[in-house]
Amino acid sequence: MTEPSQVLIVGAGPVGLVTGIELLRRGVPVRVVDRSERPNPHSKAIALWPRGIEALARFGAADELHRRGLVLRAQNYHSQGRRVARLSFGGMRRTRYPYALSIPQQETEAVLRETFRALGGAIEFGTSLTGFTQHGEGVRAELETKAGRTTEDFGWLVGCDGAHSAVRGVLGVPFRGSSYPQQFLLTDGPARTSLAHDEVHYFMSGAGVLVVVGLPGGLYRTFVSAAPDLPVDDAREAVQRAASERCPVPIELVGEQRTGVFRVHRKVVDRMRVGRVLLAGDAAHIHSPAGGQGLNTGLEDAASLAWRLAGVREGRYREKVLDAWERERLGVARAVVGDTDRQTRMWTMNGWRARARDAVLGAGERSGVLNRVVVPRQAQLSFAYPGPRERAGRLRTGMRLPDVPLDARRDRWLRDELGSTAPLLLVFTGTGKHRRDVRDVAERFRRKHDDIRVTIIDNSTKSTHALLGLDRPCAVLVRPDGAVAALRDPFGDESELARCASDLAGTAAEAR
Ligand SMILES: Cc1cc2nc3c(=O)[nH]c(=O)nc-3n(C[C@H](O)[C@H](O)[C@H](O)COP(=O)(O)OP(=O)(O)OC[C@H]3O[C@@H](n4cnc5c(N)ncnc54)[C@H](O)[C@@H]3O)c2cc1C
């Protein structure tokens, strides 16, 4: 039975499942429907980047994902048979996960389904959304199963129904962009090769790209681009041929291989919110698999939506926070489409363009730009939301709250302080002589405000202050999705701290 304020989530892919988990753990009743009869058996995404892992770690899934995954340490670019650049993931700072996790998408989804069910959720497979209308108080949805059609009322509808989204179609929201001419072929399975198993290898040539990535269990993904008109009767044979032509190191596909042939597009919607209907994940943006960004971007759409939707539903926030979500996430989606497009074009350059690309990559490695700038961007750690730019040390508004250890044994980490619903006020006492006054102000504030979680980071954690570049006292307001909302120097002034916290409440409620 549906209660009219329930949230209907269409699609039990990774984005629908994370939306469901994040809403359930905030006490919001949801229904999750998926038109497939059973879970997706295909391994599409294989790379989880640190920000994606952090999003899943928030509800306790990190250990299980690591148990099933393989840590990838570096990414290599080869051209004309020689390596032109190497990106090392280990240099990523201020995250607990300085690597990419290789884990087949169906494994990630299995972990998410377990988490969702443990929270009391049920997935209705074999149930399609066929249409809906909006009225003042909610959404009237038509759902179809083998047993027939029903019409049911919901408070909100979140379309996580993938690239061919029916929700987007009913809304009539344009999906603007274009498609790449090439086709792409992949195999997942055992291979004999001396290529490092815990690294990503790109081999670029005028004929196309070859990508080799280690998978858990000693397997490899081997992935190639091919001419649009190449007849592909046997994908495994075509991948083997391209691998032998494009890679100077022998790769022999052995044993059973899962194969796939697909086309790639770059498209973004104009809108992610129309009234009480929201679009997230591939329903809102699709791009080339270059850099493994799609799933990761969708996970953050979900994490960043759920706390706002829960707050709006409870009347704590105004609906404007959902427009802010749309603005922020459309900005990220467009940036990701741009980045993956550049990388995809780079794969197949010829002649002087290829030589220039190789020179730029080589110079990027030597100068450290690839490790300092490109890796954190690919890991989505450096994406910051727009808004007023306040700064303190290494912190600035709009950025993801960095994760740094709070004790010498590295048992406690800063992002563990994030609550699920309440905003977090972090008060750094600084290392100077007034730190006791700052602590007193923060303690008094904590006693007065039980709707904001307050954590005081004092001088015993000098290294935490140093890692964040903070030598002065500082109050940092953090949204429930882990984005920094406001920064203030609260030294000795309780009213300044109060203003900071009411800013946060305002920031969350009024939207930025
Ligand atoms: C080869 C390949 C490699 C990739 N590699 C990476 C990678 O390494 N890293 C990365 O981040 N991303 C990668 N991606 C992208 C990633 O797979 C997608 O971004 C991700 O699956 C999107 O998740 P989603 O939940 O939005 O949509 P989907 O996974 O497509 O799920 C949508 C769900 O909605 C259901 N549905 C559809 N219509 C309806 C309806 N009318 N009613 C009910 N249910 C419906 C579908 O059955 C499906 O289960 C890759 C993609 C491909 C193809």
For 355-373, the three-class secondary structure string (H helix, E strand, C coil) is HHHHHHHHHHHHHCHHHHH
Asked if residue 423 lies in contact with residue 478, where contact means CB atoms within 8 angstroms, the answer is: yes
> ∠ CA(369), CA(371), CA(372), 5° rounding?
60
Q: Is the CB of 35 under 6 A from ligand 1?
A: yes
* φ, ψ for residue 203, nearest 5 deg: -115, 115
Angle of the 294-313 helix axis to the 14-24 helix axis, nearest 10: 30
- Residue extent(s) of CATH 3.30.9.10 domains in the chain: 178-264
Which residues of 155-197 form beta strands (DSSP E)?
Answer: 156-159, 175-189, 191-193
Query: 13 alpha carbon to ligand 1 midpoint, in Å?
Result: 6
Q: Is the CB of 13 under 6 A from ligand 1?
A: yes
> From CA 141, how far away is CA 198, in angstroms rounded?
46
Q: How far is CA 68 from CA 103, 216, 303, 304, 308, in A?
A: 7, 7, 22, 26, 31
* Nearest residue by C-alpha to atom 51 in ligand 1: 44
Q: Tell me if residue 51 falls in helix, strand or coil.
A: helix
Q: pLDDT per residue over 41-81, tens digit each?
A: 888 999 999 999 999 999 999 999 999 999 999 999 999 88
Q: Is the CB of 289 under 6 A from ligand 1?
A: yes
Q: Is the CB of 279 under 6 A from ligand 1?
A: no
Query: Ligand 1: which atom is nearest the Cα of residue 15?
Result: 25
pLDDT of residue 136: 82
Instruction: Count the residues in the chain.
Output: 512
* Residue 109 neighbours by CB under 8 Å, 6+ apart: 12, 13, 14, 17, 39, 40
pLDDT of residue 512: 34
Over the chain, what is the mean pLDDT?
92
Q: Is the CB of 292 under 6 A from ligand 1?
A: yes
**Helix (H) or strand (E) run with residue 129 in it:** strand 128-135
Q: Tell me if residue 290 falls in helix, strand or coil.
A: coil
> From CA 165, how far away is CA 420, in angstroms rounded?
29
Query: 102 alpha carbon to ligand 1 midpoint, in Å?
Result: 17
- Residue extent(s) of CATH 3.50.50.60 domains in the chain: 7-46+104-174+270-348
pLDDT of residue 404: 95
Which segments in the chain show pLDDT lower than 50? 508-512
Q: Is the CB of 371 under 6 A from ligand 1?
A: no
For 249-266, the three-class secondary structure string (H helix, E strand, C coil) is CCEEECCCCEEEEEEEEE
Mutational pocket test of ligand 1: of 9, 31, 34, 101, the residue with most ligand atoms within 8 Å of the beta carbon: 34
For 424-437, the three-class secondary structure string (H helix, E strand, C coil) is EEEEECCCCCCHHH
11: its two tokens? 């699609």
Query: 162 alpha carbon to ligand 1 midpoint, in Å?
Result: 5
Q: Where are the alpha helices (DSSP H) in 397-434?
A: none
Q: Is the CB of 208 under 6 A from ligand 1?
A: no
> From CA 64, how far away is CA 60, in angstroms rounded?
8
pLDDT of residue 15: 98
466: its two tokens? 């140093």
Asked if residue 91 lies in contact with residue 238, where contact means CB atoms within 8 angstroms, the answer is: no
Query: Ligand 1: which atom is nearest the Cα of residue 293?
Result: 11
pLDDT of residue 351: 92
Place of tokens 């959720």: 121
Q: Is the CB of 376 under 6 A from ligand 1?
A: no
Asked if residue 56 lies in contact with residue 64, where contact means CB atoms within 8 angstroms, the answer is: no
- Residue extent(s) of CATH 3.40.30.120 domains in the chain: 391-510
Query: Could you tell me the pTM of the whole model?
Result: 0.94
Specify the CATH number for 178-264; select among 3.40.605.10, 3.30.70.120, 3.30.9.10, 3.20.20.140: 3.30.9.10
Specify the CATH number for 7-46+104-174+270-348; select among 3.50.50.60, 3.30.1180.20, 3.40.190.10, 3.10.450.50: 3.50.50.60
Asked if residue 267 lies in contact with residue 288, where contact means CB atoms within 8 angstroms, the answer is: no
pLDDT of residue 506: 57
Q: Is the CB of 262 under 6 A from ligand 1?
A: yes
pLDDT of residue 491: 60
> From CA 474, how far away is CA 121, in angstroms rounded?
40
* Nearest residue by C-alpha to atom 31 in ligand 1: 13
* Nearest residue by C-alpha to atom 29 in ligand 1: 13
Query: Ligand 1: which atom is nearest the Cα of residue 34?
Result: 44
Asked if residue 111 lies in contact with residue 101, where contact means CB atoms within 8 angstroms, the answer is: no
Cα–chain center distance at 222? 23
Q: Is the CB of 141 under 6 A from ligand 1?
A: no
pLDDT of residue 511: 36
> From CA 402, how far away is CA 379, in angstroms rounded?
13
Q: Is the CB of 145 under 6 A from ligand 1?
A: no
* Nearest residue by C-alpha to atom 52 in ligand 1: 44
Query: Ligand 1: which atom is nearest the Cα of residue 165?
Result: 38
End-to-end CA distance of the chain: 37
Query: 328 alpha carbon to ligand 1 midpoint, in Å?
Result: 21
Mutational pocket test of ligand 1: of 8, 30, 33, 44, the residue with most ligand atoms within 8 Å of the beta carbon: 44
3-state percent breakdown (helix, strand, coil) of the chain, nearest 5: 35, 30, 35
* Residue 437 neighbours by CB under 8 Å, 6+ apart: 491, 492
Specify the CATH number for 391-510; select among 3.40.50.2020, 3.40.30.120, 3.40.50.10790, 3.40.50.2300: 3.40.30.120
Place of tokens 């409440």: 505
Q: pLDDT per residue over 256-286, tens digit each?
A: 999 999 999 999 999 999 999 999 999 999 9
Question: How many other C-beta atoms are found inside a 10 Å radius of the C-beta of residue 252?
Answer: 11
